[in-house]
Amino acid sequence: MPVAASAIYFLNLRGDVLINRLYRDDVGGNMVDAFRTHIMQTKELGTCPVRQIGGCSFFYMRISNVYIVIVVSSNANVACAFKFVVEAVALFKSYFGGAFDEDAIRNNFVLIYELLDEIMDFGYPQNLSPEILKLYITQEGVRSPFSSKPTDKPVPNATLQVTGAVGWRREGLVYKKNEVFLDIVESVNLLMSSKGSVLRCDVTGKILMKCFLSGMPDLKLGLNDKIGLEKESQLKSRPTKSGKTIELDDVTFHQCVNLTRFNSEKTVSFVPPDGEFELMNSRKYYTVLYFLGGCISFNFLVPDCLSERFRYRITEGVNLPFRVLPTIKELGRTRMEVNVKVKSVFGAKMFALGVVIKIPVPKQTAKTSFQVTSGRAKYNPAIDCLVWKIRKFPGQTEPTMSAEIELISTMAEKKSWTRPPIQMEFQVPMFTASGLRVRFLKVWEKSGYNTVEWVRYITKAGSYEIRC
């Protein structure tokens, strides 16, 4: 059964109910007490996100200082339930302007009730897309699209939008300046052994797009990925240009993409419906033709917010932006010496921002002294780490940090210190760890206007861990 929830509760960290909604009758209203006494008040919290108590099962997630708990009594679809929570939180955030916490819930409880009523019916998730819900569930609430008040702006096909029966294109949009913004955001996950060999490494990337285009543009996007390039070379019967090609392990698309045709023909196109569509004031919908490496194309809904259209994952041939070379020596029982060298292996003209390196030290650290060639380092006892921050980190450099640590000698400490891994945070603009490049982004429109295309790349650290 694809039922995702019988009831949903939002609790604060003390366990008070901030808001709740019962969708089905098969769980009692007091089930949340069971959650409080059996999960929140015990050590069980955090051991497993799916728990059974009595005849009910609880799925819970913590988001900032709020627990979101879903209660069911049937064999519900857990994947659906968790995804629903994730999407619902994203929806609330987009309504509240970014924040989702206890205060935001209290301040918007009427709106949340309204949304909860709309996004789930009898435990079945309905439409959770913010772009569409904002058509008819508005902040002010009074602006009903069908209200007879003349001041209201009518959104006559809101219900059609919700049910997905209407295409996403309208005619007659005009922009003075036609622009497309394309962001390629990658995060590198790395797990490196103490000997410097890579245990696991992958890059997950997403392509975000924002369009301000007039009329009915077709977009084609060419990437340097392998399948795309091979297809292209077959089509044009010429060998692939030398240069790096990228193998994408997995690609997932946003809801709007017609997956069946993408799979079968590698050409996904969509014929926009030709019915009459009312002009919608605050929304902008375009047809976009996406063209992957030559022969994958599809078109999709582009709202005027930066939205994610495309996700991919790469495990082969990852360019690691940083190498970390730690040496940690325990000198006797009360002293330690830590030397860390960080090498930036991207181009010399580029630089990384917000580099933070966290080097774990034992709990009984008493005194630390540092020498760094760049940035600033300090000891943070709250997380038992030496934190070395470098605001701007140019490419092809290798700053070092050496620290001396004095430990309080303890009698009881028989167990040797288990060294947690070094963790790193960074952002490298204009660099992709996957090597993915946009080869072209072309926009065609029958009026033949010129478009300005902006492409940005950024690579961030996902979980970048080096064992030591």
Partner 1 sequence: MSGHDSKYFSTTKKGEIPELKEELNSQYKDKRKDAVKKVIAAMTVGKDVSSLFTDVVNCMQTENLELKKLVYLYLINYAKSQPDLAILAVNTFVKDSQDPNPLIRALAVRTMGCIRVDKITEYLCDPLQRCLKDDDPYVRKTAAICVAKLYDINAELVEDRGFLESLKDLISDNNPMVVANAVAALAEIQENSSGPIFEISSHTLSKLLTALNECTEWGQVFILDALSRYKAADAREAENIVERVTPRLQHANCAVVLSAVKMILQQMELITSTDVVRNLCKKMAPPLVTLLSAEPEIQYVALRNINLIVQRRPTILAHEIKVFFCKYNDPIYVKMEKLEIMIKLASDRNIDQVLLEFKEYATEVDVDFVRKAVRAIGRCAIKLERAAERCISVLLELIKIKVNYVVQEAIIVIKDIFRRYPNTYESIIATLCESLDTLDEPEAKASMIWIIGEYAERIDNADELLESFLESFPEEPAQVQLQLLTATVKLFLKKPTEGPQQMIQTRDQLPIFICTCTVFKHSSQSVVTNTNSCLQVVLNNATVETDNPDLRDRAYIYWRLLSTDPEAAKDVVLAEKPVITDDSNQLDSSLLDELLANIATLSSVYHKPPEAFVTRVKTTAPKTEDDDYPNGIDTGYSDTPTHVADGGTSPQTSSSSAPYPAGRQPAPPPAAPAPAAPVPDLLGDLIGLDNSAIVPVDRPEPAPAAPLPVVLPASTGQGLQISAQLTRQDGQVLYSMLFENNTQIPLDGFMIQFNKNSFGLAAAGPLQVPQLQPGTSARTLLPMVLFQNVSGGAPSSLLQVAVKNNQQPVWYFNDKVSLHVFFTEDGRMERGSFLETWRSLPDSNEVLKDLPGIVVSNVEATLDRLAASNMFFIAKRKHANQDVFYFSAKIPRGIPFLIELTTVIGNPGVKCAIKTPNPEMAPLFFEAIESLLKA
Residues in 221-280 that interact with partner 1 by CB under 8 A:
249-255, 258-260, 262-264
- CB nearer partner 1, residue 162 or residue 173: 162
- CB nearer partner 1, residue 149 or residue 446: 149
Q: Which one of 43, 148, 239, 329 is in contact with partner 1 (CB under 8 A)? A: 148
Residues 279-338 touching partner 1, rule: CB under 8 A, are 311, 313
CB 437 within 8 A of CB 248: no
With a CB cutoff of 8 Å and minimum separation 6, the contacts of 112 are 10, 19, 92, 105
- CA–CA dist 153, 131 (Å, integer): 17
Q: Contacting partner 1 (CB under 8 A), which of 13, 41, 49, 174?
A: 49
Cα gap 137→157, rounded to integer Å: 14
456 Cβ contact list (under 8 Å, min separation 6): 181, 182, 183, 184, 429, 430
Q: Does 162 bind partner 1 (CB under 8 A)?
A: yes
Q: Is 174 in the site for partner 1 (CB under 8 A)?
A: no
- 124-143 positions binding partner 1, by CB under 8 A: 124-129, 136, 139, 141-142
Question: Measuring CA to CA, how many Å separate 220 from each of 246, 282, 439?
Answer: 18, 26, 10
- Candidate ranges 152-160, 398-406, 428-436, 440-448; the one touching partner 1 (CB under 8 A): 152-160
What sign for the dihedral angle of Cα 315, 317, 319, 322? positive
Binding mask 425-454 for partner 1 (x = CB under 8 A): ------------------------------
Choice between 200 and 241, CB closer to partner 1: 200
> Is 365:387 a contact under the CB 8 Å cutoff?
no
Residue 15: CB atoms within 10 A of its CB come to 17
| Vertex 286: Cα angle to 148 and 437 (nearest 5) | 145
Identity of the residue, 202 or 232, whose beta carbon is nearer to partner 1 in the bound complex: 202
Site string for partner 1, 400-429 (x = CB under 8 A): --------------xxx-xxxx-x------
Site for partner 1 in 359-388 (CB under 8 A): none
Given 64, 107, 234, 410, the residue binding partner 1 (CB under 8 A): 107
Nearer to partner 1, 114 or 445 (CB): 114
Q: Determine if 97 is a binding residue for partner 1 (CB under 8 A).
A: yes
- Whole-angstrom distance between the N-terminal and C-terminal Cα of the chain? 47
- Contacts with partner 1 by CB under 8 A: the residue count is 116
For residue 141, give both structure tokens.
């609430």
Does position 121 interact with partner 1 (CB under 8 A)? The reply is yes
Comparison of 127 and 397: residue with beta carbon closer to partner 1:
127
19 binds partner 1 (CB under 8 A): yes
Q: Which residues 6+ apart lie within 8 Å of 25 measured at CB?
A: none
Report how far apart, in Å, the C-alpha atoms of 362 and of each of 78, 287, 371, 381, 458 are: 40, 57, 19, 10, 34
d(CA 299, CA 272): 9
- Answer for which of 13, 110, 345, 408 binds partner 1 (CB under 8 A) is 110
